[in-house]
Amino acid sequence: MSKNINPTQQHIVMKTFWITLLASLFTTGLLLVPHQEQQTCSDVKEQNIQLAIYANKNYTAPIYTQAYAKVIVAVSKVDGRVVTPVYQTEIAPMQLNEFPQQSSAALLKNIRIPNVNNGDQLLVDYTIEYNTNGTILRIGGNSTLQTLQNTVAITV
């Protein structure tokens, strides 16, 4: 015995079938997609960095009167393998004998880096560019800051 289904009933059955199938696929897809951990406001903070720039030798001799140095600093956030530049600054050229000679009297520059996650590290790259009568010498260095560390000493 075969049942005859009128076209309206057949349309309703097919519509119900497709809606159920799509809902099942959507739900299955949601279950299979890995969930990312949501960051809370307490995981994101502002990091303050203090640059302490000073001379590591005595530049008062007359030979240094035409010698200048400028400092270029770039800060990047490191999250795993992702490096994101977040700040760059340049300290204007100064005669070498103008730089303080002791770390306690260092030229200080404060930098604020917003939106630092708990897992991020900050990488501070710096270049000291010496200029003596047009002859340029560039020397680079870097420092990786951990969570609580916030001072970078740069010696000229």
The structural domains of the chain, with segments of one domain joined by +, span: 46-155
**pLDDT (0 to 100) of residue 6:** 73
CA distance linking residue 122 with residue 116, whole number of Å: 9
Ordered DSSP codes for the chain: ------HHHHHHHHHHHHHHHHHHHHHHHHHHSPPPPPPPGGGEEEEEEEEEEE-SS---SGGGTTEEEEEEEEEEEEETTEEEEEEEEEEEEEEGGGS-SSGGG-EEEEEEEEEEETT-EEEEEEEEEEEETTEEEEEEEEEEE-SS--EEEEE-
Give the pLDDT band (50/70/90) at residue 69. very high
**pLDDT (0 to 100) of residue 148:** 57
What mean pLDDT value characterizes the chain? 82
CA distance linking residue 60 with residue 20, whole number of Å: 84
**β-bridge mates for residue 132, sequence order:** 67, 135
CA distance linking residue 126 with residue 88, whole number of Å: 10
- Segment 45-65 shows an average pLDDT of 88
pTM, full prediction: 0.67
Give the pLDDT band (50/70/90) at residue 30. low
More confident residue, 57 or 150: 57
Give burial (CB, 10 Å; 0-12/13-18/19+) of 52. Answer: middle
More confident residue, 119 or 69: 69
95 pLDDT above the threshold of 90: yes
33 pLDDT above the threshold of 70: no
Q: Are 155 and 55 in contact (CB under 8 A)?
A: yes
CA distance linking residue 129 with residue 1, whole number of Å: 95
108 pLDDT above the threshold of 60: yes
CA distance linking residue 108 with residue 71, whole number of Å: 12
**pLDDT (0 to 100) of residue 48:** 86
The CATH-assigned architecture of domain 46-155 is Sandwich (2.60)
**pLDDT (0 to 100) of residue 87:** 92
